[in-house]
Amino acid sequence: MSDAFEDRKKSFEAKYKMDQELQFKVEARRNKMLGEWLADEFGLGKASKKEYAASVIYADMEKPGIEDVIEKVMADIAEHRVSISEQDVRSKMEALEITAKEQIEGEYPEPLGPDHERVGD
């Protein structure tokens, strides 16, 4: 009986790990797209756009949540004197998170073949 519980525990741990990895990838992709959008708004060139997008990704590593990203991009918006509100940024982040999740989920095949039913979720 304890083997079944141990197997179940390992299964839940593996699913948790996969869910956390997916969320990390979604947030990084969202931040990259946010950085690219803002770089376009700032009128940055192609090389600068890529560099700026990377800086937005790295800004998310400072604190839990999105506030570190918001602080960084709002300071950059003020520096570039672009008319984008914090609410605009938050709305854009929400939309980009949906897009990022769809993109990432589309990049990975289903873990089970068509001969298996999905259970849970």
Longest dimension (CA), the chain: 65
Residue 111 in domain: no
85 sits in the region (left: phi over 0; alpha: psi -120 to 50; else beta) called beta
Q: In the structure encoding, which two tokens stand for residue 59, read together?
A: 């800004």
What's the pLDDT score for residue 121? 53
pLDDT at 41: 95
DSSP 108: S
pLDDT of residue 106: 84
Q: Is residue 12 part of a domain?
A: yes
Let me know if residue 84 belongs to a domain.
yes
Q: Is 45 among the domain residues? A: yes
Q: If we measure between CA atoms, which residue out of 22, 46, 18, 49 comes closest to residue 103? A: 22
| pLDDT in the model for residue 115 | 61
Between CA 48 and CA 46 the distance in angstroms is 5
Contact assessment for residue 71 and residue 89, using Cβ atoms and an 8 Å cutoff: no
pTM value surpassing 0.85: no
Q: With respect to residue 116, please indicate whether it lies within any of the assigned structural domains.
A: no
Domain assignment present for residue 120? The answer is: no
Give pLDDT, residue 18.
82
What would the two tokens of residue 42 be?
A: 């700032």
* Beta-carbon contacts of residue 5 (< 8 Å; ≥ 6 apart): none
What's the total number of domains in the chain?
A: 1
CATH, residue 85: 1.10.790.20
Residue 1: CB partners within 8 Å, gap ≥ 6? none
Q: What is the mean pLDDT of each run of 10 residues along the chain (121 residues)?
A: 75 81 92 96 93 93 88 95 95 96 81 60 53
The pLDDT score that the predictor gives to residue 19 is 78
Which domain range does residue 94 map to? 2-106
Domain for residue 26, yes or no?
yes
114 part of a folded domain: no
